[in-house]
Amino acid sequence: MTQELMLFLKDLTIKKIHEGLKNKEFTAFELTKEFFDYIETRDKEVQAYLSLDKVGALAAAEAVDIAIAKGEDIGPLAGVPMAIKDNLLVKGLPATAGSKMLENYTAAYDATVIKKLKEAGAIVIGKANMDEFAMGSSTENSAFKITKNPHDLERVPGGSSGGSAAAVAAHMAVAALGTDTGGSIRQPASLCGVVGLKPTYGAVSRSGAIAMASSLDQIGPLTKTVEDAAIVFNAIKDKDPLDATSVDMEYGDDLLHPKLENVKKLRIGLPKEYFVEGMDEYTRAEVNKAIEKVKSLGIEVKDISLPNMKHALSCYYIIMPAEVSSNMARFDGIRYGRLDELQQDEPKSLLGIYHKQRGQGFGKEVRRRIMLGTYVLSSGYYDAYYAKAQKVRKLIKDDFDKAFEEVDVILTPVSPTTAFKIGEKTSDPMQMYLSDIFTLTLNLAGLPGVSIPVRQYEGTGQMPVGFQLIGKAFREADILGIGQFYERL
Protein backbone atom coordinates (compact mmCIF):
# COMPACT_ATOMS: atom_id res chain seq x y z
CA MET A 1 0.00 0.00 0.00
CA THR A 2 1.43 3.36 -1.01
CA GLN A 3 0.89 6.65 0.80
CA GLU A 4 -0.52 8.00 -2.47
CA LEU A 5 -3.21 5.29 -2.53
CA MET A 6 -4.25 6.01 1.06
CA LEU A 7 -4.49 9.77 0.35
CA PHE A 8 -6.46 9.07 -2.84
CA LEU A 9 -9.02 6.88 -1.03
CA LYS A 10 -9.22 9.30 1.90
CA ASP A 11 -10.25 12.12 -0.42
CA LEU A 12 -13.07 10.18 -2.11
CA THR A 13 -16.75 10.95 -1.62
CA ILE A 14 -19.74 9.67 -3.57
CA LYS A 15 -19.85 12.93 -5.52
CA LYS A 16 -16.11 12.79 -6.38
CA ILE A 17 -16.38 9.18 -7.56
CA HIS A 18 -19.31 10.12 -9.81
CA GLU A 19 -17.35 13.00 -11.33
CA GLY A 20 -14.19 10.87 -11.69
CA LEU A 21 -16.05 8.10 -13.53
CA LYS A 22 -17.83 10.53 -15.85
CA ASN A 23 -14.58 12.34 -16.64
CA LYS A 24 -12.81 8.98 -17.18
CA GLU A 25 -10.16 9.77 -14.55
CA PHE A 26 -10.41 6.12 -13.44
CA THR A 27 -12.66 3.13 -14.06
CA ALA A 28 -14.99 1.50 -11.54
CA PHE A 29 -12.97 -1.72 -11.90
CA GLU A 30 -9.69 0.05 -11.09
CA LEU A 31 -11.27 1.85 -8.14
CA THR A 32 -12.79 -1.31 -6.68
CA LYS A 33 -9.49 -3.16 -7.01
CA GLU A 34 -7.69 -0.33 -5.19
CA PHE A 35 -10.15 -0.65 -2.30
CA PHE A 36 -9.52 -4.39 -1.97
CA ASP A 37 -5.76 -3.79 -2.05
CA TYR A 38 -6.11 -1.23 0.74
CA ILE A 39 -8.47 -3.42 2.80
CA GLU A 40 -5.96 -6.27 2.63
CA THR A 41 -3.50 -4.14 4.61
CA ARG A 42 -5.64 -1.81 6.71
CA ASP A 43 -8.29 -4.27 7.89
CA LYS A 44 -5.69 -6.44 9.60
CA GLU A 45 -5.62 -3.65 12.20
CA VAL A 46 -9.20 -2.36 12.18
CA GLN A 47 -11.12 -5.65 11.70
CA ALA A 48 -14.15 -3.94 10.19
CA TYR A 49 -15.19 -6.70 7.76
CA LEU A 50 -16.53 -10.18 8.48
CA SER A 51 -16.51 -11.24 4.81
CA LEU A 52 -15.54 -9.77 1.44
CA ASP A 53 -16.99 -10.36 -2.03
CA LYS A 54 -14.13 -9.56 -4.40
CA VAL A 55 -15.49 -11.57 -7.34
CA GLY A 56 -19.00 -10.10 -7.11
CA ALA A 57 -17.73 -6.56 -6.52
CA LEU A 58 -15.35 -6.58 -9.50
CA ALA A 59 -18.08 -8.02 -11.75
CA ALA A 60 -20.48 -5.25 -10.66
CA ALA A 61 -17.76 -2.64 -11.25
CA GLU A 62 -17.14 -4.03 -14.74
CA ALA A 63 -20.85 -3.66 -15.50
CA VAL A 64 -20.66 0.03 -14.55
CA ASP A 65 -17.65 0.53 -16.82
CA ILE A 66 -19.48 -1.12 -19.73
CA ALA A 67 -22.47 1.19 -19.21
CA ILE A 68 -20.14 4.22 -19.25
CA ALA A 69 -18.37 2.96 -22.39
CA LYS A 70 -21.75 2.67 -24.12
CA GLY A 71 -22.47 6.31 -23.28
CA GLU A 72 -25.28 5.48 -20.86
CA ASP A 73 -26.11 7.91 -18.07
CA ILE A 74 -25.05 6.62 -14.65
CA GLY A 75 -26.57 7.57 -11.32
CA PRO A 76 -24.63 9.11 -8.42
CA LEU A 77 -24.13 5.72 -6.69
CA ALA A 78 -22.80 3.87 -9.74
CA GLY A 79 -19.36 2.44 -9.00
CA VAL A 80 -19.42 3.49 -5.34
CA PRO A 81 -17.82 0.86 -3.02
CA MET A 82 -20.04 0.20 0.00
CA ALA A 83 -19.88 -1.90 3.16
CA ILE A 84 -23.08 -3.62 4.36
CA LYS A 85 -23.84 -4.43 7.99
CA ASP A 86 -24.01 -8.20 8.40
CA ASN A 87 -27.67 -8.26 9.46
CA LEU A 88 -28.79 -7.08 5.99
CA LEU A 89 -29.27 -9.84 3.43
CA VAL A 90 -27.12 -9.80 0.28
CA LYS A 91 -27.91 -12.76 -1.97
CA GLY A 92 -25.14 -15.36 -1.98
CA LEU A 93 -23.16 -13.75 0.86
CA PRO A 94 -22.99 -14.77 4.54
CA ALA A 95 -25.47 -13.07 6.87
CA THR A 96 -24.29 -13.93 10.37
CA ALA A 97 -25.66 -10.91 12.26
CA GLY A 98 -22.42 -11.27 14.25
CA SER A 99 -23.68 -14.51 15.83
CA LYS A 100 -22.56 -18.13 15.98
CA MET A 101 -26.24 -18.99 15.55
CA LEU A 102 -26.05 -17.87 11.90
CA GLU A 103 -22.40 -18.73 11.29
CA ASN A 104 -23.27 -21.05 8.40
CA TYR A 105 -26.18 -19.06 6.96
CA THR A 106 -25.99 -17.66 3.42
CA ALA A 107 -28.63 -15.18 2.27
CA ALA A 108 -31.02 -16.56 -0.36
CA TYR A 109 -32.23 -13.14 -1.53
CA ASP A 110 -31.41 -9.44 -1.41
CA ALA A 111 -32.92 -7.11 1.17
CA THR A 112 -34.98 -4.38 -0.48
CA VAL A 113 -32.34 -1.75 0.30
CA ILE A 114 -29.68 -3.95 -1.34
CA LYS A 115 -31.84 -4.37 -4.45
CA LYS A 116 -32.12 -0.59 -4.66
CA LEU A 117 -28.37 -0.09 -4.23
CA LYS A 118 -27.57 -2.70 -6.88
CA GLU A 119 -30.06 -1.11 -9.28
CA ALA A 120 -28.27 2.20 -8.65
CA GLY A 121 -24.94 0.57 -9.58
CA ALA A 122 -23.39 0.60 -6.10
CA ILE A 123 -20.62 -1.94 -5.44
CA VAL A 124 -21.02 -4.22 -2.39
CA ILE A 125 -17.47 -4.71 -1.07
CA GLY A 126 -18.41 -7.00 1.81
CA LYS A 127 -20.27 -7.51 5.08
CA ALA A 128 -19.29 -5.42 8.10
CA ASN A 129 -18.84 -6.60 11.68
CA MET A 130 -21.47 -5.81 14.32
CA ASP A 131 -22.63 -6.56 17.84
CA GLU A 132 -24.45 -9.89 17.86
CA PHE A 133 -27.97 -9.41 16.46
CA ALA A 134 -27.32 -5.65 16.83
CA MET A 135 -27.33 -5.88 20.64
CA GLY A 136 -24.55 -3.67 21.91
CA SER A 137 -22.92 -0.26 21.77
CA SER A 138 -19.28 -1.14 21.11
CA THR A 139 -19.04 -4.07 18.60
CA GLU A 140 -17.40 -6.04 21.42
CA ASN A 141 -20.41 -8.40 21.43
CA SER A 142 -19.61 -9.81 17.98
CA ALA A 143 -19.09 -13.58 18.14
CA PHE A 144 -16.21 -13.34 15.64
CA LYS A 145 -13.93 -10.36 16.26
CA ILE A 146 -13.66 -6.96 17.95
CA THR A 147 -13.56 -4.04 15.55
CA LYS A 148 -11.17 -1.22 16.48
CA ASN A 149 -11.70 2.53 16.20
CA PRO A 150 -9.55 3.74 13.26
CA HIS A 151 -8.61 6.89 15.22
CA ASP A 152 -7.23 4.84 18.15
CA LEU A 153 -6.91 1.06 17.85
CA GLU A 154 -7.22 0.63 21.63
CA ARG A 155 -10.74 2.08 21.57
CA VAL A 156 -14.13 0.84 20.39
CA PRO A 157 -15.81 2.14 17.21
CA GLY A 158 -19.23 2.17 18.89
CA GLY A 159 -22.05 -0.14 18.02
CA SER A 160 -23.90 -1.99 16.94
CA SER A 161 -22.97 -0.77 13.43
CA GLY A 162 -19.31 -0.44 14.47
CA GLY A 163 -17.92 -2.32 11.48
CA SER A 164 -19.83 -0.10 9.04
CA ALA A 165 -18.67 3.11 10.76
CA ALA A 166 -15.06 1.91 11.04
CA ALA A 167 -14.96 0.85 7.37
CA VAL A 168 -15.98 4.36 6.26
CA ALA A 169 -13.74 6.14 8.80
CA ALA A 170 -10.74 4.01 7.77
CA HIS A 171 -11.43 4.67 4.05
CA MET A 172 -12.15 0.98 3.36
CA ALA A 173 -15.55 1.97 1.92
CA VAL A 174 -16.93 5.28 0.69
CA ALA A 175 -20.28 4.61 2.34
CA ALA A 176 -22.00 1.89 4.33
CA LEU A 177 -25.41 0.72 5.49
CA GLY A 178 -26.20 0.10 9.14
CA THR A 179 -29.28 -0.42 11.29
CA ASP A 180 -30.40 1.77 14.17
CA THR A 181 -32.60 0.43 16.99
CA GLY A 182 -31.52 2.77 19.79
CA GLY A 183 -28.62 4.69 18.26
CA SER A 184 -26.71 1.96 16.43
CA ILE A 185 -25.98 4.14 13.39
CA ARG A 186 -25.59 7.53 15.08
CA GLN A 187 -23.46 6.51 18.08
CA PRO A 188 -20.71 4.72 16.07
CA ALA A 189 -20.83 7.55 13.52
CA SER A 190 -20.10 9.99 16.33
CA LEU A 191 -17.32 7.86 17.84
CA CYS A 192 -15.66 7.30 14.44
CA GLY A 193 -16.05 10.82 13.08
CA VAL A 194 -18.39 10.05 10.17
CA VAL A 195 -21.98 10.99 9.28
CA GLY A 196 -24.77 8.60 10.31
CA LEU A 197 -28.46 9.00 9.41
CA LYS A 198 -31.33 7.21 11.14
CA PRO A 199 -34.36 7.86 8.90
CA THR A 200 -37.96 8.24 10.05
CA TYR A 201 -39.54 4.91 10.99
CA GLY A 202 -41.23 3.72 7.78
CA ALA A 203 -39.15 5.82 5.37
CA VAL A 204 -36.92 2.86 4.45
CA SER A 205 -38.04 -0.74 3.97
CA ARG A 206 -36.86 -3.24 6.60
CA SER A 207 -37.54 -6.23 4.37
CA GLY A 208 -34.43 -8.42 4.38
CA ALA A 209 -33.08 -7.01 7.62
CA ILE A 210 -32.62 -9.53 10.45
CA ALA A 211 -35.00 -8.07 13.02
CA MET A 212 -33.99 -7.10 16.54
CA ALA A 213 -36.89 -4.94 17.80
CA SER A 214 -39.35 -4.44 14.96
CA SER A 215 -41.04 -1.25 16.15
CA LEU A 216 -37.66 0.44 16.67
CA ASP A 217 -35.36 -0.87 13.89
CA GLN A 218 -34.50 1.36 10.93
CA ILE A 219 -31.91 1.06 8.14
CA GLY A 220 -29.75 4.04 7.23
CA PRO A 221 -26.44 5.20 5.72
CA LEU A 222 -23.02 5.97 7.19
CA THR A 223 -20.99 8.28 4.97
CA LYS A 224 -18.13 10.79 4.92
CA THR A 225 -20.35 13.81 4.25
CA VAL A 226 -23.95 14.86 4.88
CA GLU A 227 -24.38 15.31 1.14
CA ASP A 228 -23.41 11.66 0.61
CA ALA A 229 -25.88 10.58 3.32
CA ALA A 230 -28.65 12.40 1.43
CA ILE A 231 -27.68 10.63 -1.82
CA VAL A 232 -27.77 7.14 -0.22
CA PHE A 233 -31.00 7.86 1.66
CA ASN A 234 -32.63 9.08 -1.55
CA ALA A 235 -31.71 5.78 -3.21
CA ILE A 236 -33.03 3.45 -0.47
CA LYS A 237 -36.18 5.27 0.72
CA ASP A 238 -39.82 4.70 -0.42
CA LYS A 239 -42.68 2.31 0.25
CA ASP A 240 -42.12 -1.41 -0.23
CA PRO A 241 -44.95 -3.97 -0.59
CA LEU A 242 -42.74 -6.40 1.37
CA ASP A 243 -42.78 -4.13 4.45
CA ALA A 244 -46.23 -3.12 5.69
CA THR A 245 -44.71 -0.46 7.97
CA SER A 246 -43.06 1.40 5.06
CA VAL A 247 -44.68 4.64 3.93
CA ASP A 248 -45.17 6.24 0.53
CA MET A 249 -43.87 9.75 1.17
CA GLU A 250 -43.06 12.41 -1.42
CA TYR A 251 -39.71 14.06 -0.73
CA GLY A 252 -39.10 17.36 -2.46
CA ASP A 253 -36.11 18.74 -4.31
CA ASP A 254 -34.70 20.15 -1.04
CA LEU A 255 -33.56 16.65 0.03
CA LEU A 256 -30.67 16.67 -2.46
CA HIS A 257 -30.51 20.37 -3.27
CA PRO A 258 -31.15 22.41 -0.10
CA LYS A 259 -31.29 26.20 -0.37
CA LEU A 260 -29.60 28.37 2.26
CA GLU A 261 -32.53 30.80 2.40
CA ASN A 262 -34.85 27.90 3.36
CA VAL A 263 -32.38 26.50 5.90
CA LYS A 264 -32.10 29.92 7.58
CA LYS A 265 -35.86 29.90 8.21
CA LEU A 266 -35.60 26.78 10.37
CA ARG A 267 -35.65 27.17 14.15
CA ILE A 268 -33.48 24.91 16.29
CA GLY A 269 -34.30 23.85 19.86
CA LEU A 270 -31.77 22.90 22.56
CA PRO A 271 -33.46 20.58 25.11
CA LYS A 272 -32.11 21.23 28.61
CA GLU A 273 -32.54 17.54 29.51
CA TYR A 274 -29.74 16.58 27.09
CA PHE A 275 -27.13 19.00 28.45
CA VAL A 276 -26.77 17.43 31.87
CA GLU A 277 -24.10 16.15 34.24
CA GLY A 278 -22.52 12.91 33.13
CA MET A 279 -21.37 14.22 29.77
CA ASP A 280 -17.58 14.55 29.73
CA GLU A 281 -16.26 18.09 29.48
CA TYR A 282 -14.43 17.60 26.18
CA THR A 283 -17.63 16.31 24.54
CA ARG A 284 -19.65 19.18 26.01
CA ALA A 285 -17.13 21.76 24.73
CA GLU A 286 -17.12 20.24 21.23
CA VAL A 287 -20.94 20.17 21.03
CA ASN A 288 -21.02 23.82 22.19
CA LYS A 289 -18.65 24.66 19.31
CA ALA A 290 -21.11 23.01 16.94
CA ILE A 291 -23.96 25.11 18.36
CA GLU A 292 -21.99 28.33 17.80
CA LYS A 293 -21.15 27.23 14.26
CA VAL A 294 -24.84 26.52 13.52
CA LYS A 295 -25.73 29.98 14.83
CA SER A 296 -23.24 31.49 12.39
CA LEU A 297 -25.46 30.22 9.55
CA GLY A 298 -28.06 32.71 10.74
CA ILE A 299 -30.38 30.07 12.20
CA GLU A 300 -32.44 30.92 15.29
CA VAL A 301 -31.56 28.75 18.30
CA LYS A 302 -33.67 28.60 21.47
CA ASP A 303 -33.93 26.54 24.66
CA ILE A 304 -36.73 23.95 24.93
CA SER A 305 -37.73 21.12 27.27
CA LEU A 306 -38.47 17.41 26.75
CA PRO A 307 -39.52 16.53 30.31
CA ASN A 308 -40.18 12.81 29.85
CA MET A 309 -36.75 12.15 28.40
CA LYS A 310 -35.66 11.08 31.91
CA HIS A 311 -37.85 7.96 31.56
CA ALA A 312 -36.55 7.03 28.09
CA LEU A 313 -33.80 4.60 29.09
CA SER A 314 -36.09 2.61 31.41
CA CYS A 315 -38.87 2.62 28.81
CA TYR A 316 -36.53 1.49 26.02
CA TYR A 317 -35.01 -1.36 28.04
CA ILE A 318 -38.47 -2.83 28.58
CA ILE A 319 -39.89 -2.47 25.06
CA MET A 320 -36.72 -3.46 23.19
CA PRO A 321 -36.00 -6.73 25.09
CA ALA A 322 -39.69 -7.69 24.84
CA GLU A 323 -39.49 -7.44 21.04
CA VAL A 324 -36.07 -9.14 21.07
CA SER A 325 -37.48 -12.16 22.91
CA SER A 326 -40.18 -12.51 20.23
CA ASN A 327 -37.84 -12.03 17.26
CA MET A 328 -35.16 -14.37 18.61
CA ALA A 329 -37.66 -17.23 19.01
CA ARG A 330 -37.19 -18.19 15.35
CA PHE A 331 -33.50 -18.95 15.90
CA ASP A 332 -33.84 -22.48 17.24
CA GLY A 333 -30.66 -23.85 15.66
CA ILE A 334 -32.64 -26.12 13.35
CA ARG A 335 -33.78 -23.87 10.51
CA TYR A 336 -30.49 -21.99 10.22
CA GLY A 337 -27.95 -24.77 9.95
CA ARG A 338 -26.42 -25.51 13.34
CA LEU A 339 -27.52 -29.15 13.49
CA ASP A 340 -24.04 -30.25 12.42
CA GLU A 341 -22.83 -29.00 15.81
CA LEU A 342 -24.87 -31.76 17.49
CA GLN A 343 -22.78 -34.72 16.37
CA GLN A 344 -21.21 -35.19 19.81
CA ASP A 345 -23.44 -35.74 22.81
CA GLU A 346 -26.58 -35.51 20.69
CA PRO A 347 -29.66 -34.40 22.70
CA LYS A 348 -32.42 -37.01 22.93
CA SER A 349 -35.39 -34.63 22.62
CA LEU A 350 -36.50 -31.53 20.69
CA LEU A 351 -36.35 -29.52 23.92
CA GLY A 352 -32.80 -30.79 24.42
CA ILE A 353 -31.86 -29.59 20.93
CA TYR A 354 -33.29 -26.13 21.69
CA HIS A 355 -31.42 -25.92 25.00
CA LYS A 356 -28.11 -26.86 23.42
CA GLN A 357 -28.46 -24.82 20.24
CA ARG A 358 -29.73 -21.61 21.83
CA GLY A 359 -27.40 -21.93 24.81
CA GLN A 360 -24.32 -22.29 22.62
CA GLY A 361 -25.49 -20.26 19.61
CA PHE A 362 -26.39 -17.05 21.45
CA GLY A 363 -23.83 -14.88 23.25
CA LYS A 364 -24.18 -13.49 26.76
CA GLU A 365 -25.79 -10.15 25.82
CA VAL A 366 -28.40 -11.78 23.55
CA ARG A 367 -29.32 -14.29 26.28
CA ARG A 368 -29.58 -11.44 28.80
CA ARG A 369 -32.03 -9.50 26.63
CA ILE A 370 -34.10 -12.58 25.75
CA MET A 371 -34.52 -13.38 29.46
CA LEU A 372 -35.37 -9.78 30.34
CA GLY A 373 -37.88 -9.54 27.49
CA THR A 374 -39.52 -12.85 28.31
CA TYR A 375 -39.87 -11.73 31.92
CA VAL A 376 -41.58 -8.39 31.16
CA LEU A 377 -44.02 -10.17 28.81
CA SER A 378 -44.83 -12.97 31.23
CA SER A 379 -48.16 -13.46 32.99
CA GLY A 380 -48.57 -11.06 35.89
CA TYR A 381 -45.83 -8.70 34.72
CA TYR A 382 -47.09 -7.58 31.29
CA ASP A 383 -49.29 -4.78 32.67
CA ALA A 384 -46.75 -3.76 35.31
CA TYR A 385 -43.89 -3.36 32.82
CA TYR A 386 -44.58 -3.65 29.10
CA ALA A 387 -48.00 -1.97 28.99
CA LYS A 388 -46.75 0.85 31.22
CA ALA A 389 -43.63 1.32 29.06
CA GLN A 390 -45.81 1.74 25.98
CA LYS A 391 -47.74 4.51 27.76
CA VAL A 392 -44.47 6.25 28.63
CA ARG A 393 -43.40 5.88 24.99
CA LYS A 394 -46.51 7.85 24.02
CA LEU A 395 -45.57 10.58 26.50
CA ILE A 396 -42.07 10.83 25.00
CA LYS A 397 -43.56 11.17 21.50
CA ASP A 398 -45.98 13.81 22.80
CA ASP A 399 -43.00 15.77 24.18
CA PHE A 400 -41.44 15.86 20.72
CA ASP A 401 -44.76 16.84 19.09
CA LYS A 402 -45.13 19.72 21.53
CA ALA A 403 -41.52 20.87 21.02
CA PHE A 404 -41.99 20.81 17.24
CA GLU A 405 -44.82 23.33 17.58
CA GLU A 406 -42.19 25.97 18.40
CA VAL A 407 -39.06 24.67 16.61
CA ASP A 408 -38.35 22.75 13.40
CA VAL A 409 -35.20 20.87 14.42
CA ILE A 410 -33.70 19.78 17.76
CA LEU A 411 -29.93 19.76 18.41
CA THR A 412 -28.39 17.44 21.03
CA PRO A 413 -25.20 15.52 21.78
CA VAL A 414 -24.99 11.99 20.33
CA SER A 415 -22.95 10.22 23.01
CA PRO A 416 -22.06 11.38 26.54
CA THR A 417 -18.39 10.48 25.93
CA THR A 418 -15.91 9.91 23.13
CA ALA A 419 -14.93 6.34 22.21
CA PHE A 420 -14.01 4.37 25.33
CA LYS A 421 -11.25 1.79 25.70
CA ILE A 422 -11.90 -1.79 24.55
CA GLY A 423 -12.96 -3.80 27.62
CA GLU A 424 -13.68 -0.71 29.71
CA LYS A 425 -17.46 -1.25 30.01
CA THR A 426 -17.96 -4.93 29.21
CA SER A 427 -18.32 -5.93 32.86
CA ASP A 428 -21.03 -3.32 33.54
CA PRO A 429 -24.05 -3.62 31.22
CA MET A 430 -25.68 -0.48 32.67
CA GLN A 431 -22.67 1.68 31.76
CA MET A 432 -22.83 0.25 28.26
CA TYR A 433 -26.57 0.93 27.98
CA LEU A 434 -26.02 4.57 29.03
CA SER A 435 -23.98 5.06 25.83
CA ASP A 436 -27.32 5.32 23.97
CA ILE A 437 -29.07 7.68 26.38
CA PHE A 438 -29.12 10.60 23.88
CA THR A 439 -30.12 8.55 20.84
CA LEU A 440 -32.80 6.03 21.83
CA THR A 441 -35.59 8.62 22.29
CA LEU A 442 -35.78 9.01 18.50
CA ASN A 443 -36.42 5.31 18.01
CA LEU A 444 -39.18 5.37 20.60
CA ALA A 445 -40.76 8.36 18.80
CA GLY A 446 -39.98 7.15 15.25
CA LEU A 447 -38.22 10.41 14.28
CA PRO A 448 -35.26 11.03 11.96
CA GLY A 449 -31.85 11.96 13.36
CA VAL A 450 -28.39 12.51 11.95
CA SER A 451 -24.99 12.45 13.68
CA ILE A 452 -22.53 14.94 12.18
CA PRO A 453 -18.87 15.34 13.21
CA VAL A 454 -18.30 18.68 14.95
CA ARG A 455 -15.18 19.11 12.78
CA GLN A 456 -12.50 17.14 10.92
CA TYR A 457 -10.65 14.97 13.47
CA GLU A 458 -8.40 12.79 11.33
CA GLY A 459 -4.75 13.62 11.94
CA THR A 460 -5.47 15.88 14.93
CA GLY A 461 -4.78 13.16 17.49
CA GLN A 462 -8.15 13.89 19.14
CA MET A 463 -11.11 11.53 19.33
CA PRO A 464 -14.18 12.48 17.27
CA VAL A 465 -17.35 14.02 18.69
CA GLY A 466 -20.63 14.22 16.81
CA PHE A 467 -23.71 16.33 17.38
CA GLN A 468 -27.24 15.19 16.59
CA LEU A 469 -29.94 16.96 14.60
CA ILE A 470 -33.47 15.60 15.15
CA GLY A 471 -36.20 16.42 12.65
CA LYS A 472 -39.95 16.13 12.36
CA ALA A 473 -41.24 12.86 10.90
CA PHE A 474 -40.31 12.54 7.21
CA ARG A 475 -38.45 15.86 7.28
CA GLU A 476 -34.99 14.39 6.70
CA ALA A 477 -34.50 17.29 4.29
CA ASP A 478 -34.41 19.75 7.22
CA ILE A 479 -31.67 18.03 9.19
CA LEU A 480 -29.67 17.07 6.10
CA GLY A 481 -30.01 20.62 4.75
CA ILE A 482 -28.61 22.19 7.92
CA GLY A 483 -25.89 19.53 7.96
CA GLN A 484 -24.80 20.21 4.39
CA PHE A 485 -24.36 23.93 4.98
CA TYR A 486 -22.71 23.26 8.36
CA GLU A 487 -19.98 21.11 6.82
CA ARG A 488 -19.24 23.78 4.21
CA LEU A 489 -18.37 26.35 6.89
Of residues 85, 100, 224, 237, which has the active-site annotation? 85
- Tell me which amino acid residue 463 is: M
Q: Kindly report the length of the chain.
A: 489
Of residues 99, 138, 161, 184, which has the active-site annotation? 184
- By DSSP bridging, strand 300-304 and strand 409-413 are unpaired
Residue 402 bears catalytic tag = no
Q: Which of 473, 477, 31, 91 is nearest to 258 (CA)?
A: 477
Q: Rounded distance, CA 214 to CA 218, Å?
A: 9
Q: Rounded distance, CA 453 to CA 193, Å?
A: 5
Residues paired with residue 85 on neighbouring β-strands, in sequence order = 128
Residue 415 bears catalytic tag = no
| Cβ contact 212:324 at 8 Å | yes
| Cβ contact 218:247 at 8 Å | no
Of residues 99, 138, 142, 160, which has the active-site annotation? 160
Q: Rounded distance, CA 343 to CA 333, Å?
A: 13
Residue 265 bears catalytic tag = no
Q: Indicate the helix (H) or strand (E) that contains 284.
A: helix 281-295
For the chain, the distance separating the N- and C-terminal CA atoms, rounded to the nearest angstrom, is 33
| Cβ contact 196:189 at 8 Å | yes
The set of catalytic residues is: 85, 160, 184
